[in-house]
Amino acid sequence: MEALFLQFFHNTGFYLCDYRNIIMILVGIIFVYLGIAKDYEPLLLVPIGFGMLIGNIPIFTGLGLGIYEPNSVLHYLYFGVTQGIYPPLIFLGIGAMTDFSTLLSRPVLMLLGAAAQAGVFITFLGALALGFAPHEAASIGIIGGADGPTAIFLTAKLAPQLIGPIAVAAYSYMALVPVIQPPIMRLLTTRKERLIRMEEPREVSKREKIIFPIVAFLLCCFLAPAALPLLGMLCFGNLLKEAVVTERLAVTARTTIIDTATILLGVTVGASTQGDVFLTSSSVGIFVLGAGSFCVATATGVLFAKFMNLFLKSKINPLLGAAGVSAVPDSARVVQVVGQQEDPTNFLLMHAMAPNVSGVIGSAIAAGVLWSLMASKVM
Amino acid sequence: MYGLEAINANNGWATSVVGITIVFSGLVVLSLVISQLYKALDLYENPQKIRDWFSRAKRSDKFLETEVPLFVLTEEQKEIIKQFALLVRTLEDHFSLPRLFELAQISGVKNFHSNLNILLKSAIIFPDKEGFFCWDQDMYIKTISNRNSLKKMEDNRK
């Protein structure tokens, strides 16, 4: 009986516990706290945080419980991450939620979304310089796109062993957009620039809104076919929304489908951060590069807006450049908040949504480009 | 391998430049296309504009070919037309003809019936097809400066 009791004790988490599990459980609790108490991206941080708790319960291998054990339930759920299934489903929902009106009314703002993608490629260089392999560097660079699903999608294709740290870094920094971006925005702009008011956007017809996702999809995917899963679903979701006759499908995409995919993605990504796999020196490098990537993306967006102002008759508020990182809609909200700190009657949110959604398209194209350039190095 | 050596060895510079160029050109092309989209849709929804555009081009060719004046405005008529120009400035861009008529009457413009008719025939005043009329400043200047005949302008408007 004593032997049985001992055998049971040896199988408990208390016996198998490792300091790395404790650290990750604490990180998970912090994520849940930030999500619930501080309202930082709760829809992402709460599932990821709880997933960290799930993934760091010490278990002995062979019971078929761990996420990395074949045939375990978590392993099957994780399949959607490793095979890049959940990110396109999330993009479908994002498409069904997004209104491209402001972008259509002032297409020049799309360039800010493109400029912010410079962060992706500068971080790619930084990761190479730190000794990461090219395909890993590409996966790390995409954190600068500030788009969790895109980062997970590309990492699943190029460096699946890094999904945990990259996903956690991407979502953590997305949640910290209100903390990371404002100092950079203030540093790179003058008060006069922050006070610039934007022109009232023109009214966009329904027909334009319907045609846009088709045109955008065809153009972007002909240019970067590897972006097909993400952009295809984004544009399809938007078409469902704008077509009106498919409203029922659009509602399902922007509620049930995106919520289900977000829950499964969040929990499994969180569970993939098992202490022994996650707490490595490369994870630290990824976090440092991820933070740098966000800062560079914000800075390039703001600086490019200032550069555009040299040529534009109707000046744009350079704060909008910060919304070029595709953390929708947080970075647009940050632009609104920073703008209103200077002038409470200046409403920039609507205008900031244009570079924000073009950042989504830009980061998907960047992911497609990196995938196609690196695919040969993975195979 | 670390640092610049690693970047060079992995063709990092070229990859980055190619990558950002593709992303940028993709979004630039897309923004160009969508900036023209509403104009294309406007033409699709109002095919009359295309016909007008072509017929206007034809008319302007004719306009250049024929230079023979058939109507000549007297100095008095020109003065009256100038008075109408001043009255129109007090109105909206799209104004009602009875209102202009009424203003001309109040202001004591001489022979306002017949002179208003000249303005209409010369297309200085033209209908906006929504029940109101507009003033064509270019046509007015041409008429007053007597560089072109009224008849020719009438043909041109038709």
Residue B59: predicted pLDDT: 63
Is A369 in Cβ contact with B27 (below 8 Å)?
A: no
Helix, strand, coil % in chain B, rounded to nearest 5: 70, 5, 25
Cβ contact A32:A49 at 8 Å: yes
Instruction: Give the whole-angstrom CA distance, residue A87 versus residue A93.
Output: 10
Taking the Cβ of residue A128 and every Cβ of chain B, the question of whether any pair is shorter than 8 Å is answered with yes
pLDDT at B117 over 90: no
Residue B69: predicted pLDDT: 45
Residue B149: predicted pLDDT: 47
For residue A128 the two structure tokens come to 């190479």
Q: Which band of pLDDT confidence, cut at 50, 70 and 90, is reported for residue B155?
A: low
- The per-residue pLDDT of chain B, averaged, comes to 78
Question: Residue A111: which of B1, B10, B31 has the nearest Cβ?
Answer: B31
Strand partners, B127: B133
B8 C-beta neighbours (distance < 10 Å), count: 13
Is A369 in Cβ contact with B19 (below 8 Å)?
A: yes
Instruction: Give the whole-angstrom CA distance, residue B131 versus residue A186.
Output: 54
Closest-CA residue of chain B to A121: B16
Is A205 in Cβ contact with B19 (below 8 Å)?
A: no
A40: left (phi over 0), alpha (psi -120 to 50) or beta: beta
H helices present in A56-162, as ranges: 73-82, 86-97, 101-105, 110-115, 118-129, 134-141, 148-158
Task: Tell me which residue of A349, A364, A348 sits closest to A117, measured CA to CA.
Answer: A364
Is A137 in Cβ contact with B37 (below 8 Å)?
A: no
Task: Tell me which residue of A176, A248, A220, A240 sits closest to A31, measured CA to CA.
Answer: A176
Cβ contact A361:A216 at 8 Å: yes
Query: Over the stretch B47-82, which tens digit does the pLDDT of each residue have?
Result: 877 777 777 666 665 555 544 444 567 778 888 888
pLDDT at B102 over 80: yes
Question: Residue B27: which of A114, A128, A137 has the nearest Cβ?
Answer: A114
Residue type, A145: G
Instruction: Please report the ipTM that was assigned to this predicted complex.
Output: 0.85
B88 C-beta neighbours (distance < 10 Å), count: 21
ω into B98 cis (within 30 of 0): no
Residue B106: predicted pLDDT: 82
Cβ contact A331:A323 at 8 Å: yes
Task: Tell me which residue of B79, B107, B75 sits closest to B91, measured CA to CA.
Answer: B107
Cβ contact B145:B130 at 8 Å: no
Per-residue pLDDT of chain A (379 residues; tens, 9 = 90+): 788 888 888 878 888 888 888 999 999 999 999 999 988 888 888 999 999 999 999 887 777 788 888 888 999 999 998 888 999 999 999 999 988 888 899 899 999 999 989 989 999 999 999 999 999 999 999 988 878 889 989 998 899 888 888 988 888 888 888 888 999 999 999 999 999 988 888 888 899 999 999 999 999 999 888 889 999 999 999 999 999 899 999 999 999 999 999 999 999 989 988 888 888 888 888 888 888 888 999 999 999 999 999 988 888 999 999 998 878 788 888 999 999 998 888 889 889 989 998 998 999 999 999 998 887 766 5
Residue B156: predicted pLDDT: 52
Name the pTM for this structure: 0.75
A31 C-beta neighbours (distance < 10 Å), count: 29
The contacts of residue A190 (CB under 8 Å, 6+ apart) are: none
Instruction: Give the whole-angstrom CA distance, residue A236 versus residue A232.
Output: 6
Chain A environment of B1 (Cβ under 8 Å): 131
Q: How many CA atoms lie within 13 A of A211 on its CB side?
A: 15
Instruction: Give the whole-angstrom CA distance, residue A52 versus residue A42.
Output: 15
> What is the Rg, in whole angstroms, of the alpha carbon atoms belonging to chain B?
28
Residue A260: predicted pLDDT: 95
Query: Which helix or strand (DSSP H or E) is residue B126 part of?
Result: strand B125-127
